[in-house]
Amino acid sequence: MQASSVYTGPVFEMASRQFHTVADHLDIPVHERARILMPKRVLAVSCPIHRDDGSVAVYQGYRVQHHLTLGPTKGGTRFAPNVDVGEVAALAIWMSWKCALAGLPYGGAKGGIAVDPRALSKRELEALSRRYMQEMIPFVGPHTDVMAPDMGTNEQVMAWFMDTYSMYQGKTVSEVVTGKPVDTGGTVGRREATGRGVAYLIRRAADTIGLNLDGATAIVQGFGNVGSVATLTLAASGVRVIGVSDHSAAYYDPKGLDVRSLDAHVAKTGALAGYSKEGLFDAAELLVQKCDILVPAAVERVIDEHNAGKIDCRILAEGANGPTTPEADDILRNRPDIFVIPDILCNAGGVIVSYFEWVQGLQQLFWDESEVNDRLNRTLEKSFQEVVRLSKTRGLTHRDAALSIGVERVLSAKRKRGLFP
Ligand code: GLU
């Protein structure tokens, strides 16, 4: 397969390498591989906005749609300084395998803007969100490509996206975006869904390996929407959370941290820094401290060939997308002491409840929270069992099993639909 000059960089290479590993397991002929791996299309946009000081700043934005074989594309929009088209493409590819594994009728997509949203005022953030969506109008739609939150975006940004798209259509089109506030057509349970799903799967992994969660210890990297909800849900099940970190600080206390007051501090100040003078710890060292459950819920590529041999946990629950490099996977393959819950399974709760939000919006028939959570748990349970079963029968790692299921479903649909024209 020829290398691409558009999609480059370490994150894209990682998605590509993972794909070829499972394509080898699945015996996918080389001539079919590019058709499954390479993104269908990409839009790159320049988004100018007026800064508060009167100057004009221009930000680069992207949206990658990976494949359209199973329905509209689906995926979040990330606002982060290092966003580039290769990373967005990798994240779109992972969304495809994630949606297929969960049985959702979507292809994968992802978008992003290279910006530090914390460096913008609220007015600037709104201007940038609206300009990005305005540039995306010809490319997205409720039956074409449905956006959602990701790192650096939230319900408010989704409300601005939805409003901007709707203003141009002359009517409210709430289904063009998921992860909206509940009072603008969102669903109950979406904000918490990814973190709740992570906690549900940790419970299932703990059952499988005979670990009692009551009194088990956990370390969580990332205290955003995913990490904080996972932390609080685990703590409510009796787990002792001994370490947490975000971009600003890391805290470690083997006796257990007060996760409610950490959460209250982050809700007030936006970050962990300044929570306390005690318990401050080195963020990289935190990942290799002994614990039962390690949850990387921040950025890509934090578990690599340097620390994979040193992590000291029984369950590795990947709340983030792509936290473990293929080099680290080669080390983890020989560490059967660690039960890995791979990202496309572990963090699928978000897109699963996004799908519920989209379905509810299209039907204008809304469910209560227990229905959302029950359906979420049932969907995750099915995927969990499929991954564990395939891993056993084919002797694959959980990641390779999860990816195999996703890739095989996309491949099968492509083969049945055939090649146009
Ligand atoms: N950004 C989330 C993810 O990576 C959610 C995507 C969605 O809800 O569409 O899975």
Radius of gyration of the chain (CA): 21
Q: How confident is the model at residue 167 (pLDDT cuts 50, 70, 90)?
A: very high
- Ligand 1 atom with the smallest distance to the CA of 94 is 4
Confidence of residue 237 (pLDDT cuts 50, 70, 90): very high
Mutate to test the pocket of ligand 1, among 150, 157, 194 (most ligand atoms within 8 A of CB): 150
Domains and CATH numbers, the chain: 10-173 (3.40.50.10860), 191-346 (3.40.50.720)
Say whether 110 is catalytic: yes
Give mean pLDDT, residues 47-57. 98
Query: pLDDT, tens digit, for every residue of 282-311?
Result: 999 999 999 999 999 999 999 999 999 999
Q: Give the Å distance between the CA of 277 and the centre of ligand 1.
A: 35
Please state the atom number of ligand 1 nearest to the C-alpha of residue 110.
Answer: 1
Rounded mean pLDDT of the chain? 97
Residues 93-140 pLDDT 10s: 999 999 999 999 999 999 999 999 999 999 999 999 999 999 999 999
**Residue 345 CA to ligand 1 centre (angstroms):** 12
Helix (H) or strand (E) holding 95: helix 85-102
Phi, psi dihedral angles at 296 (to 5 degrees): -75, 115
Instruction: Indicate which atom in ligand 1 lies nearest the CA of residue 347.
Output: 10
The atom of ligand 1 lying closest to the CA of 190 is 8
Q: Which residue owns the Cα nearest ligand 1 atom 7?
A: 351
Q: Which residues surround ligand 1 with Cβ inside 6 Å?
A: 74-76, 148, 150, 178-179, 321, 347, 350-351, 354
What tens digit of pLDDT does each residue of 364-400 get? Answer: 999 999 999 999 999 999 999 999 999 999 999 999 9
- The residues, ordered by sequence, that sit 6+ positions from 405 with a Cβ below 8 Å of its Cβ are 100, 101, 383, 386, 387, 390
Question: What is the three-state SS of 34-68?
Answer: HHHHCCCEEEEEEEEEECCCCCEEEEEEEEEECCC
Q: What is the pLDDT of residue 205?
A: 98
Contacts (Cβ under 8 Å, ≥6 apart) of 209: 314, 315, 339
351 Cα nearest atom in ligand 1: 8
Is residue 4 over pLDDT 90?
no
- 61: β partners: 45, 113
> Which pLDDT belongs to residue 182?
98
Judge whether residue 246 has pLDDT over 80. Answer: yes
For residue 3, what pLDDT is reported? 81
Q: Which residues pair with 41 in a beta bridge?
A: 65
CA of 184 to the centre of ligand 1 (A): 19
Q: Residue 2 pLDDT more than 80?
A: no
User: CA 129 to CA 126: how far, in whole Å?
Assistant: 5
What value does the mean pLDDT take over residues 255-280? 97
CA 253–ligand 1 middle distance (angstroms):
32
Cα–Cα distance for residue pair 287/310, rounded to 1 Å: 9
For residues 348-367, give the mean pLDDT.
Answer: 98
Q: What are phi and psi of 219, to 5 degrees?
A: -125, 130
Among residues 74, 110, 171, 255, which one is catalytic? 110
pLDDT of 120 reads: 98
The mean pLDDT of 330-351, rounded to a whole number, is 97
Percent of the chain topping pLDDT 70: 100
Mutate to test the pocket of ligand 1, among 83, 95, 191 (most ligand atoms within 8 A of CB): 95
Instruction: State the helix-helix crossing angle for 85-102 and 349-363, rounded to 10 degrees.
Output: 70
How far is ligand 1, taken at its centre, from the CA of residue 334, in Å? 30
Q: Which of 354, 360, 380 to mutate to test the pocket of ligand 1 (most atoms within 8 A of CB)?
A: 354
For residue 76, give the nearest of 40, 113, 102 by alpha carbon.
Answer: 113
Q: What is the signed CA dihedral for 88, 90, 95, 96, rounded to 10 degrees?
A: 120
What angle is formed at CA 232 by the lines to CA 228 and CA 237, rounded to 5 degrees?
145
Before 421, cis peptide (omega within 30)? yes
Write the pLDDT tens digit of every residue in 69-90. 999 999 999 999 999 999 999 9
Q: How far is the CA of 149 from the centre of ligand 1 (A)?
A: 6
